[in-house]
Structure 1
Amino acid sequence: MTKEENEKRLAYLKGIVSRLPDKPGSYQFYDHEHTIIYVGKAKNLKSRVSSYFYAEIDRFKTKVLVSKIFDISYTVVNTEEDALLLENALIKKHNPRYNVLLKDGKTYPSICITKEFFPRIFKTRNINKKIGTFYGPYSHVTSMNNILGIIKELYHPRTCRQPITKEGIEAGKYQVCLDYHIKKCMGPCVGKQSYNDYQKNILQAREILKGNTRQVLNDLKEEMLRLSEELRFEEAEEVKKKYIALDQFASRSQVVSHTINNVDVFSITSDEKMAFINFIHVSNGSINQSFTIEYKKKLEETDDELLQLGIIELRQRFKSDAKEIIVPQEVDVELENVTFTIPQRGDKKTLLDLSIMNGKQYKLDRLKQAEKLNPEQKQTRLMKELQDKLHLPKLPYHIECFDNSNISGSDAVASCVVFKKMKPSKKDYKRFNIKTVKGPDDYASMKEVVSRRYNRLVDEEQPLPDLIIADGGKGQMEVIREVIQDELNLDIPIAGLAKDDRHRTNELLYGFPPMKVALKVESELFHVLTQIQDEVHRFAITFHREKRSKHALHSELDDIKGIGKKTKDALLQALKSVKRIREADLETLSGLIGKAKAKIIFEYFHQEE
């Protein structure tokens, strides 16, 4: 598009904006093919849409959206609530490119009560409102199965699929099935259970699915007392069993407060790319519904904007008519006859905290599910988290960590482990024998090893690490800094892992002077860092033990040139010790290993003679 064409486009759009009314409504942006690319809502259409073309836009994604707009249409409504409803409907209908994407992840199951003469009750993922009434969806299948289980235990609804009619029953068309014989069905198909009794059970089942267990319990109690007064004790006993079973089931549900009734609770948990909105419905003091939806962000939408959209979507989905909505923050929206509450304490605050906890847990579950399918996603997330914590210039793809090992300065060694993408790269591990340091001087040993390591990498033009981690605190970090920055003039970030008095890693250090980095010791990233530390320590200790073992097994025979392992083993097996080999004559030695090698050994032990 040329500059002249763009100016013509903007002039046309600004002309539309100048004619917009100062009323609530929904607006739609179209691209050059007249496809809807964005749907929005506003309390004041003219003011809201003008902000796209006359105000300075800071967000890059919004600038991209404005560059794609070629036409604008709008719909005026009476209230802001109607604008929200219209926006939600248009987004679901057109799925515009620049609107947030509602991601259900999968079709959650619901419970259906059919519209048949004798209704059936079952779980399903296919919603067809022509066949019955649906309750749900249920994001937690276990809770759905528990509700379905108590309904079947109390009311024994039929499970057969044959189309039962009143005429068919009167004509004796049907026969009882196995469920009747094992007492899972009361036999309505053959008149063993009356139509009115069956419908009364279905009515109570509906109330349970709505969360009105207390009302059902009151009805059962009244019926039980009435039957007792009429001396119908066997029937009263059956009702009592139902009452006890339902009461035990209701006691397992989370009861908040009997004073809280018909209340919706919403909370939002978001990051740069996604937002998770949790919904909880409370009826008669008990939580009877909890559900979380997720939105994929497109234009850096604020939590307030997404929470508004989520409230409308979830109240529509669950057909909620609650007159009070509990939210964690101010919501710039007005719904008719609805009060928004931001609780600070008490039962309502407990509900809000529970909703926030559910949202965070859902986010964590989705993250684990994604990382299970794509393990590299987890590694990238951890690298990004470490980059953000340390403010690194790039992702720490390549990390190296150093450690020393010695006993009173003897057999001093050091090791370097390499992690790539937060995983050990064992083929790149390095071992070092300390050459220039005498005695137990960890700082001098570290300086020698780091200098040797990076001088070699520079000389061979090999890739340098994105981060160096010292297995120790400020002292070790300073030694590494002297080599990396002062001597080699390299720009490699340096961190340290310090231990507490019990020799347990308890903090991550970074910067000069080193500062403690805010990182929870139970976090996943901290566990990875301690894994790096444990690995370098293990590698150093293993090398040190190998070196000590070689010295322990060293004998004077190893110093004799021309004598190999087989000859040494043969002599030790025959004469048992180096002392006896030294005292043996030439003839004895020749008989064991031959004249030539016997002469070498004999002359070695009798040089002075």
Structure 2
Amino acid sequence: MASDLIENKLKFLPDLPGCYLMKNQADEIIYIGKAKNLKNRVRSYFRGAHDTKTEKLVSEIHHFEFIVTKTNKESLLLEINLIKKYQPKYNIKLKRGTMYPYLKITNERNPQLVITSTVERDGGKYYGPYPNVHAANQTKEFIQKIYPLRKCGKNETRACFYYHLGQCIGCCDHEVSPLEYEQQIQKIHQFLNGDVKSVKKMLVEKMQKASDSLDFEQAIEYRNQLQYIETTVEKQHIMSNDFVNRDVFAFYCERGWMSIQVFLLRQATIIKREAALFRLFEEPGEELASFIAQFYQDPNHILPTEILVPEAVDHILIEETIGVATTTPKRGNKKRMLDLATQNSEIALKEKFRIEYQKYNRTIVPIEELAQVLGMESLEVIESFDHSNIQGTNPISAMVVYHNGIPERKNYRKYKIRTVIGSNEYATTQEVIRRRYSRLLKEGSQMPNLILMDGGKVQMKAAREVLEYELGISIPIVGMVKNDKHQTSHLLVFTDEQEQEEFRQIELNPSSQAFRLVERIQEEVHRFAITFHRQVRSKNSFASTLDAIPGVGPKTRAKLLKNFKTIPAIKAATIEDFAAIGINQKIAENILKAL
């Protein structure tokens, strides 16, 4: 079940491509993923059933962040770099030093088209990176067929095999002029930069011809070539063509708040995103200039070759302060990078406002409504109790705490009933209330503003007797009453008229925020109590079953509980399995026979 924090963020995810970063309670990134639609993909983690690995991941997610990109391909490239940077434990690890490849035309007398994982200043022409490695390889092979360069080794003295196949330009057979190479390279350059119309038309014609001839295998090959081309040469807005290391700073302001996003670009792709949200006290341009100057005081932030900033920032001031060329691009890839950072800034700030508004409507408004109904000034802390047993066996009680309308799970408490035999609602309530509030008195801890009992008059009377007459504490007690369909119905409160104790029923509008808060609390305390009761019942049932077996004492029972966990697991065990944990053959046979 997703936390309230996650549920709030899920409601405001954008219908845009991007990357999401799942974080645990220690704010560590545990998983990074990409999505064509962030809203649909991230929500899927917290809806429906999953396999074991995904369930384990989801159970550790405390909150998440996301970065919006222009295209799905850009989100994949960003995902690659973020995973390499943070190495989250739930992501598949790439080998150290590996990268997604580039296509490269080498700078030599007889150039080649090769695949490489590194970009160097060696005069070669680089295209990529290509996140789909298989598509990059297939596209390279396709280019060799239609625009061949040298494919053979440098020391070939006669026409190579590839030359006879039409996949080598033929420098192994005859002298090839630099002009001929240049013309071929220009065609490859145009192809890899998206000019594929004529080539795709040719492949479609061949695919249709093969299909008409019932040569379906060949038709599928042409279809795959079309898909490889579309995958490989899709335009990448996030890339620059010069591979200059640059940082991009952008901001968005609203309601006295400023949101800043920083994109760190290395080897033409985003390798890291940083963000900040704070109240705005100066002009936005001045605030961003101050932020940039402080940003590079951190030794982990290496100065880039160039910084891109919005027009409102004083370029000269930044250049004089940190010594890096600063510019505001007007068009092209750089402008798109700046626009993308600005878009992420706006989304981050609007998300903050939406979550705060949602939180206010879900917490503060219901609390104020309920306090007004009950005639109370404050309902900062509410504690609620529920009991559970089956025909008086394994009686337990559970307590949940709500602070300003939000469940405070770290302060939930479980109680195994010690002094009550069988089903006795009055005595059970008294024991639990006595244990809870005598402890708070002893520790000098804060008392709740309201106690909600998931029951009627019996529980309310029992709680009041302990609090007022034994402990001398005055805390309002309210009963949450359910209807015959086991749904929240109304509230029950005490009234004291002419020294005669009576109860008064309070009806809540089912569509009101106060009713929904009471309903959530009642469902939560019931869920918590039932879950705890099942755990106790299961453990006690397991232990009592084992105790009835001859030869099984406390030590043997402990071994079985520790190693096998469940009765079915013990049933499936062999004599050798029992011997491995120190249980002799005779007792093992007794166990298997009894079960």
Q: Is the shorter-chain TM-score for this pair beyond 0.5, marking a shared fold? A: no
TM-score, structure 2 length as denominator? 0.34
**Greater gyration radius:** 1
Q: Could you tell me the TM-score, scaled by structure 1's length?
A: 0.33
